């Protein structure tokens, strides 16, 4: 099977990247048996775009129904009947049914009228929205998949949703009639830096790696947000236009995002706001106490849902396995919104922010510090690229470490990133975001050595310690860097394609 042309233009548009996901879907389409595919990922990540553009380019009957946000059972069934008519009967809508059993019966009868050699894709988009309370949609799906559709080798069923935890709990990990029925899952994740660069080039937008980084700090790897970037504008001009002008598409995105994912968005937003105040993470117990939410399973479950939706990450700091989970914000846009957009909402609404507002803000020391912290979190998402640049074995465990002394006489220390290797060594990484090559002078060299000393004493490790630097613009050679630093990675290394990493 020829796969090299999967990302070419098709009837609807060009699919940027996602080559692995395209290959998986194409293989499932070519399968000689029925397939049940679950596709999930955060809002705006491009799930519908990927599936629709790929399937539209294939010779198939494509039944595509999208859930209506906050739609009633009656409204969902009406839309379902309309799409059956449009797909299988060239236009006229069927009479809407009053329940999903009858609706699926209509769909099954329509499928049976299709030629036996014709493959059929059933794409249920935003499925959690279709599954209204007491709708018994899952029960109907269990019945029709197990009794009819699984035996029809033409059928490829795709269940898709942005409510990631809902898809995982109700479809992938279903304990009822759909248990172990899903034949393939696809978790669509945000683009990495090399994918963003490719995406921009396809739009004929050419930005330097540093310009892309400045945008990534604000937009993350969400394709829809990058589609707003206009050719011929700098990163800060784009940020100003998208986030600080009254008509900017990202000014009110935060609220819309949470309202679309959670029926009661307020407690989720409260958790996000609390975590956002702790850039290096906050423990679960402290988080629940500070958010003033109930100390019980409901709050823990909300944290699970936020993590599955791609907003936060749970972690266990190196050497603190008995201290429980810590949480950090993993979504660049949400973090940027809470710190930079929300405090200016009233001014933006009054159209009182002049064009170029953000350019002046970006020259302030507070932004420089912010960008440095954000570069650290972006590095965590590009661990594979950093491993390659530093020649770290894939078996090494990546993590972070921080010691906050309780006594004033003790010295604290923080390790931005570390690799606990299998060869009796630990590589400690210092991450720096600068507009020029970073120079290690005598004072900074002493700080690095002190960090290493505190780490060794507090962790009581007997392993060999090495220090490396991860910088945006590289390391300027000095007598101190030659003495202390054993290897380095630069921003350009983070743009390495995953296919190159495998070689």
Q: DSSP string spanning 414-444?
A: EEEEEEE-TTSEEEEEEEE--SS-EE--HHH
Q: What is the CATH number of domain 255-337?
A: 1.10.10.10
Contact 263, 320 (CB under 8 A): no
Q: Which residues of 465-482 are buried (b: 16+ CB within 10 A; e: fewer)?
A: bbbbbbbbbbbeebebbe
* Every domain range in the chain assigned CATH 3.40.1350.10: 382-501
Q: Give 361 or 183, the one with higher predicted confidence.
A: 183
Please give the backbone phi and psi of residue 315, each rounded to the nearest 5 degrees, phi first: -150, 160
Provide the β-strand partners of residue 313: 328
What per-residue confidence (pLDDT) applies to 316? 76
Q: What is the pLDDT of residue 323?
A: 56
CATH 3.40.50.300 domain range(s) in the chain:
19-187
Q: Is the pLDDT of residue 12 over 90?
A: no
This prediction has a pTM of: 0.90
* CA dist., res. 151 & res. 181, Å (int): 12
Where in the chain do CATH 1.10.10.10 domains reside?
255-337
Lowest mean pLDDT among 18-27, 163-172, 287-296, 474-483: 287-296
Nearest to 338 by CA among 239, 245, 254, 280: 254
The whole-number pLDDT of residue 2 equals: 33
Among the listed residues 80, 104, 82, the one whose alpha carbon sits nearest the alpha carbon of residue 93: 82
Residues 85-119 as b/e (b if ≥16 CB within 10 A, e otherwise) read bbbbeeeeebebbeebeebbbbbeebbeeeeeeeb
Gap between the Cα atoms of 290 and 208, Å rounded: 41
* Residue 500 binned pLDDT confidence (cut-offs 50, 70, 90): low
**Residue 38 three-state SS:** strand
pLDDT grade for 9, boundaries at 50, 70 and 90: very low
Region 336-352: what's the mean pLDDT?
Answer: 89
Kindly report the CATH number that applies to the domain delimited by 19-187: 3.40.50.300
Name the residue among 145, 216, 147 with its Cα closest to residue 174: 145
CA distance 194 to 216: 11
Average pLDDT over residues 1-8: 34
Confidence of residue 350 (pLDDT cuts 50, 70, 90): confident
* Residues 72-110 pLDDT 10s: 999 999 999 999 999 999 888 899 999 999 999 999 999
Confidence category of residue 14, pLDDT binned at 50, 70, 90: low
Determine contact, residues 209/202, Cβ cutoff 8 Å. Answer: no
What is the domain class of 382-501 according to CATH?
alpha beta
pLDDT tens per residue across span 379-424:
999 999 999 999 999 999 999 898 888 877 788 899 999 999 999 9
Share above pLDDT 90 across residues of the chain, in percent, rounded to a whole number: 76
pLDDT at 467: 96
pLDDT at 432 over 90: yes
- C-alpha 446: how far from its chain's center? 38
Angle at alpha carbon of residue 501, lines to 497 and 503, rounded to 5°: 120
Give the gyration radius of the chain's Cα atoms: 25
User: What is the band of 8 on the pLDDT scale with cuts at 50, 70, 90?
Assistant: very low
First to last CA, the chain: 22
Task: Point out the least confidently predicted range of 312-316, 372-376, 498-502.
Answer: 498-502
Mean pLDDT of the chain: 91
């Amino acid at each position: 099977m020829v796969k090299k042309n999967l990302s070419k233009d098709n009837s609807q548009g060009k699919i940027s990247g996602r080559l692995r996901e395209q290959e998986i879907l194409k293989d499932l389409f070519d399968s000689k048996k029925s397939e049940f595919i679950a596709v999930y990922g955060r809002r705006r990540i491009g799930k519908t775009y990927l599936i629709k553009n790929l399937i539209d380019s294939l010779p198939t009957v494509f039944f595509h129904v999208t859930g209506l946000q906050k739609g009633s059972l009656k409204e969902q069934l009406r839309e379902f009947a309309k799409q059956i008519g449009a797909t299988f009967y060239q236009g006229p809508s069927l009479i809407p049914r009053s329940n999903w059993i009858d609706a699926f019966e209509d769909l099954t009868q329509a499928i049976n009228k299709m030629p036996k050699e014709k493959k059929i894709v059933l794409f249920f988009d935003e499925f959690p929205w279709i599954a209204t309370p007491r709708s018994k949609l899952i029960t109907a799906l269990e019945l029709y998949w197990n009794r009819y559709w699984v035996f029809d080798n033409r059928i490829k069923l795709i269940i898709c949703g942005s409510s990631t935890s809902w898809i995982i709990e109700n479809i992938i990990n279903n304990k009822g009639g759909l248990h172990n029925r899903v034949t393939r899952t696809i978790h669509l994740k945000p683009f990495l830096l090399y994918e963003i660069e490719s995406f921009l080039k396809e739009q004929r937008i050419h930005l330097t790696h540093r310009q892309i980084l400045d945008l990534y700090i604000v937009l993350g790897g969400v394709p829809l947000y990058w589609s707003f970037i206009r050719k011929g504008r700098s990163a800060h001009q784009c940020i100003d236009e998208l986030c600080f002008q009254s008509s900017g598409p990202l000014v009110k995105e935060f609220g819309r995002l949470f309202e679309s994912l959670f029926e009661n968005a307020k407690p989720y937003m409260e958790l996000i706001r609390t975590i956002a105040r702790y850039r290096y993470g906050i423990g679960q117990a402290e988080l629940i106490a500070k958010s003033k939410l109930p100390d019980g399973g409901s709050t823990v479950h909300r944290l699970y849902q936020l993590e599955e939706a791609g907003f936060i990450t749970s972690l266990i700091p190196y050497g603190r396995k008995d201290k429980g989970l810590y949480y950090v914000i993993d979504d660049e846009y949400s973090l940027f919104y809470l710190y930079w957009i929300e405090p200016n909402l009233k001014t933006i609404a009054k159209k009182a922010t002049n064009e170029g507002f953000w350019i002046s803000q970006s020259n302030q020391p507070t932004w420089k510090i912010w960008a440095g912290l954000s570069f650290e979190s972006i590095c965590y998402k590009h661990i594979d690229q950093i491993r390659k640049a530093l020649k770290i074995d894939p078996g090494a465990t990546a993590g972070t470490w921080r010691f906050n002394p309780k006594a004033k006489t003790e010295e604290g220390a923080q390790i931005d990133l570390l690799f606990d290797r299998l060869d009796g060594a630990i590589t400690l990484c210092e991450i720096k975001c600068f507009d020029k090559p970073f120079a290690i002078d005598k004072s900074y060299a002493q700080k690095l050595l002190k960090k290493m000393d505190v780490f060794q004493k507090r962790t009581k490790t007997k392993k060999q310690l090495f220090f490396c630097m991860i910088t945006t613009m590289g390391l300027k050679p000095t007598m101190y860097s030659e003495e202390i630093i054993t290897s380095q990675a630069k921003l350009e290394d983070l743009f390495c394609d995953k296919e190159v990493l495998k070689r």
